[in-house]
């Protein structure tokens, strides 16, 4: 049974359709990389799944729970990382985690926050304000925040943006660990190499629909690059 | 219990951020003081006209200073994107409203505590104990409406312009009641309406309506 189930999802902004009927399922322990050109609706899709944006049509269920009707309960099951950290600059790294931990009603929040700061390599900067951290460090902190309440579903919007090699290795480890524990992950990226090595399945979003999906096992990077180019090739007519 | 905990957590976060950035309090406090000083020089204050002018000056300072702070309540979070993160949390939207309202009441309250003795000294009026409930009820009315509309205005580009345009017409009954109640304290008059009761009634209406509608205003 799917842990995350998306059926016929549609969304328009001022009459411009962004998502035209997205269907996608994720099982427990599965990691899916969502690819697509800029403006194809990847972020919109993740925002809908996280409960930040309401869809015009279609349904999304997380473990059988509708994200619109059971929004409050569904939020406990989702960890979200945006391509920008969106933290409180005036608070320290530790204070940020403790604040969000309390919002998720996490038990022994201080200990959990310290453990996660250790995990993402920010223990020594725990008492520094976020404004003093680099973008990559803030992104690591944002990753720690998403893991605070041990969510079964991780939604990551270009989580590799601004991360150095060490940060990318850390991210890959976290995704593996999450998957081994039975958690599902849906992430977007423009890096096909990351998509291939960090996921079990690739999905390509184009013109508001999932137009390609395939298991990564046995898939070569060159094949993925070729498929990606083919799918996204412009098919517009030249006006004479 | 979780609701109250979340309200206090958001309030703690807002106070801590404000204590470190000092953006809102400083601006509001300076503005209130400037208004009091300018009006003090602008009017020819005499014993017979003091009661007619002073209450208006006090509430002009409070209302405009409040709007400066109210404008930052949610706009700052939306600009930085942290509002989205807050909305992602499993928190009742009423808890967010209540926390922001309490934060605004605290910020405005501190400015009022500083401004009131200066007002008393500049306008040579005694500070009555009975002024406290008037200031409290007036501030609650302004903050209740202002917090709701600051969430609405924060989603627009012309938020600084839009907020006063939306808030001023709605707080007219509270401001008139507050000015008249303050005036009555200085020069007691017979057959005055129960201004304090009117303010309390407006506060209850504004608070109830704002709590019920905040969810629709804050979410996309």
User: Looking at the predicted structure, is the pLDDT value of residue B149 above 90?
Assistant: yes
How near does any CA of chain A get to the CA of B86, in Å? 8
User: Contact A54/B84, CB-based, under 8 Å?
Assistant: no
Write out chain B residues lying below 8 Å of A80, CB-based. 88
Between A73, A90, A104, which is nearest B16 by CB? A90
Between B9, B16, B84, which is nearest A103 by CB? B9
**Number of other CB atoms surrounding residue B160 within 10 Å:** 13
Mean pLDDT, chain B, whole residue set:
90
Find tokens 């250790």 and name the residue. Answer: A118
Model confidence band, residue B123 (pLDDT cutoffs 50, 70, 90): confident
Q: Which residue of A has its CA nearest to B17?
A: A90
Interval B44-50 mean pLDDT: 75
User: Looking at the predicted structure, is the pLDDT value of residue B130 above 60?
Assistant: yes
User: Contact B82/A87, CB-based, under 8 Å?
Assistant: yes
Write out chain B residues lying below 8 Å of A84, CB-based. 81
pLDDT score of A112: 96
pLDDT score of A46: 95
Model confidence band, residue B61 (pLDDT cutoffs 50, 70, 90): very high
pLDDT score of B201: 96
Angle at B192 between CA B188 and CA B198, to 5 degrees: 120
B21 compared with B138, residue with greater pLDDT: B138
| HEC assignment per residue over B66-118 | HHHHHHHHHHHHHHHCHHHHHHHCCCCHHHHHHHHHHHHHHHHHHHHHHHHHH
DSSP conformational letter for A194: H
Give chain A's residues under pLDDT 50: none
Interval B11-33 mean pLDDT: 91
User: Contact A91/B88, CB-based, under 8 Å?
Assistant: no
B195 compared with B187, residue with greater pLDDT: B195
Between A51, A82, A99, which is nearest B9 by CB? A99
Between B10, B89, B219, which is nearest A104 by CB? B89
DSSP A54-100: --SEEEEEETTEETTTTHHHHHTTEEEE-SS----TTSBHHHHHHHH
**Angstrom distance (rounded) from CA A228 to CA B193:** 75
**Number of other CB atoms surrounding residue B111 within 10 Å:** 27
pLDDT score of B1: 81
Write out chain A residues lying below 8 Å of B218, CB-based. none
How near does any CA of chain A get to the CA of B215, in Å? 12
**Angstrom distance (rounded) from CA B212 to CA B144:** 12
Q: Please enumerate residues of A whose Cβ is less than 8 A from a Cβ of B.
A: 50-54, 72-73, 75-76, 78, 80, 82, 84, 86-91, 95, 99-100, 102-105, 129, 145
User: Contact A88/B82, CB-based, under 8 Å?
Assistant: yes
How near does any CA of chain B get to the CA of A27, in Å? 23
Write out chain A residues lying below 8 Å of B5, CB-based. 102, 105
Q: CA gyration radius for chain A?
A: 18
pLDDT score of B72: 82
What CATH number belongs to A1-73+189-240?
A: 3.40.50.300
What the block records as the tokens of B94 is 């009423």
Interval B120-131 mean pLDDT: 83
User: Contact B84/A100, CB-based, under 8 Å?
Assistant: no
Q: How many contacts, defined by CB atoms under 8 Å, are there between A and B? A: 64
DSSP chain B: -HHHHHHHHHHHHHHHHHHHH-HHHHHHHHHHHHHHHHHHHHS---TTTHHHHHHHHHHHHHHHHHHHHHHHHHHHHHHHTHHHHHHHSS--HHHHHHHHHHHHHHHHHHHHHHHHHHHHHHTT----TTHHHHHHHHHHHHHHHHHHHHHHHHTSTTHHHHHHHHHHHHHHHHHHHHHHHHHHHHS--TT---HHHHHHHHHHHHHHHHHHHHHHHH--
Q: Which residue of B has its CA nearest to A155?
A: B88
- For the entire predicted model, the pTM comes to 0.90
pLDDT score of B129: 81
pLDDT score of A78: 96
pLDDT score of B103: 95
pLDDT score of B100: 95
Task: Give pLDDT tens digits for B98-110.
Answer: 999 999 999 999 9
pLDDT score of B114: 92
Residues in chain A: 240
DSSP conformational letter for A131: G
User: Looking at the predicted structure, is the pLDDT value of residue B47 above 80?
Assistant: no
Q: Which residue of A has its CA nearest to B92?
A: A72
Between A53, A80, A82, which is nearest B220 by CB? A53
Task: Give pLDDT tens digits for B196-219.
Answer: 999 999 999 999 999 999 999 988
Write out chain A residues lying below 8 Å of B80, CB-based. 86, 88-89
User: Contact A86/B90, CB-based, under 8 Å?
Assistant: no
User: Looking at the predicted structure, is the pLDDT value of residue B220 above 80?
Assistant: no
């Amino acid at each position: 049974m799917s842990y995350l189930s998306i059926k016929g999802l549609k969304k328009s902004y001022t009459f411009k359709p962004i998502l035209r009927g997205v269907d996608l399922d994720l099982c427990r322990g599965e990691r899916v990389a969502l690819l697509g050109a800029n403006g194809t609706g990847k972020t919109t899709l993740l925002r809908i799944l996280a409960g930040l944006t309401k869809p015009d049509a279609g349904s999304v269920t997380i473990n059988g729970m509708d994200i619109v009707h059971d929004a409050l309960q569904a939020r406990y099951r989702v960890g979200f990382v945006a391509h920008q950290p969106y933290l409180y600059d005036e608070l320290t790294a530790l204070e940020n985690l403790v604040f969000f931990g309390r919002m998720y009603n996490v038990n022994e929040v201080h200990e959990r926050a310290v453990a996660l700061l250790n995990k993402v390599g920010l223990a020594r900067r725990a008492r520094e304000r976020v404004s003093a951290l680099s973008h990559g460090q803030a992104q690591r902190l944002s990753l720690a925040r998403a893991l605070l309440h041990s969510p079964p579903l991780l939604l990551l919007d270009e989580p590799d943006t601004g991360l150095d090699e060490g940060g990318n290795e850390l991210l890959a480890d976290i995704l593996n660990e999450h998957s081994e524990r039975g958690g599902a992950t849906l992430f977007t990226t423009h890096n096909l190499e990351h998509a291939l090595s960090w996921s079990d399945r690739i999905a390509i979003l184009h013109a508001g629909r999932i137009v390609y999906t395939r298991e990564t096992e046995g898939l070569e990077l060159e094949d993925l690059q070729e498929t990606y180019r083919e799918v996204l090739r412009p098919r517009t007519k030249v006006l004479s | 219990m979780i609701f109250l905990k979340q309200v206090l957590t958001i309030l703690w976060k807002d106070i801590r951020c404000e204590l470190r950035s000092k953006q809102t309090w400083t601006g509001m406090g300076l503005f209130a003081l400037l208004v009091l000083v300018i009006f003090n020089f602008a009017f020819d204050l005499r014993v017979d006209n003091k009661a007619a002018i002073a209450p208006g000056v006090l509430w002009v300072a409070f209302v405009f200073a409040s709007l400066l702070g109210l404008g930052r309540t949610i706009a700052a979070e939306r600009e930085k994107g942290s509002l989205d993160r807050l909305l992602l949390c499993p928190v009742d939207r009423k808890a967010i409203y209540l926390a922001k309202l309490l934060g605004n009441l605290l910020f405005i309250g501190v400015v009022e505590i500083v401004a009131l003795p200066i007002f008393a000294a500049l306008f040579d009026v005694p500070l009555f104990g009975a002024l406290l409930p008037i200031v409290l009820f007036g501030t609650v009315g302004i903050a209740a409406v202002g917090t709701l509309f600051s969430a609405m205005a924060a989603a627009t580009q012309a938020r600084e312009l839009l907020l006063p345009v939306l808030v001023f017409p709605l707080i007219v009954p509270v401001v008139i009641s507050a000015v008249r109640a303050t005036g009555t304290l200085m020069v007691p008059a017979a057959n005055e309406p129960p201004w304090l009761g009117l303010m309390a009634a407006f506060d209850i209406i504004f608070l109830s309506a704002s709590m019920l509608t905040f969810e629709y205003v804050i979410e996309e």
